[in-house]
Amino acid sequence: MNSLKTTAFGSFLHMLLMMAEEIYSLLLNCQKVCSV
């Protein structure tokens, strides 16, 4: 049971990290477009 929770939490953290990276790259692209 405990390991299951840890695995779910790990996958949730991984998902958040992936979303954060996508948003970060999107923001970087917006900055490039706006600065031009």
Kindly give, in sequence order, each residue whose CB lies less than 8 Å from that of residue 8, ignoring residues fewer than 6 positions away. none
> Which is nearest to 15 in space by CA: 7, 4, 25?
7
Q: How confident is the model at residue 1 (pLDDT cuts 50, 70, 90)?
A: low
Has residue 35 got a pLDDT over 80? no
Strand blocks (E) in 1-36: none
Percent of the chain's residues with pLDDT above 90: 67
- Per the structure block, which two tokens stand in for 18? 């992936």
Position with higher pLDDT, 22 vs 32: 22
How confident is the model at residue 11, as a pLDDT?
96
Domain ranges, ordered by start, for the chain: 1-36
Q: How confident is the model at residue 4 (pLDDT cuts 50, 70, 90)?
A: confident
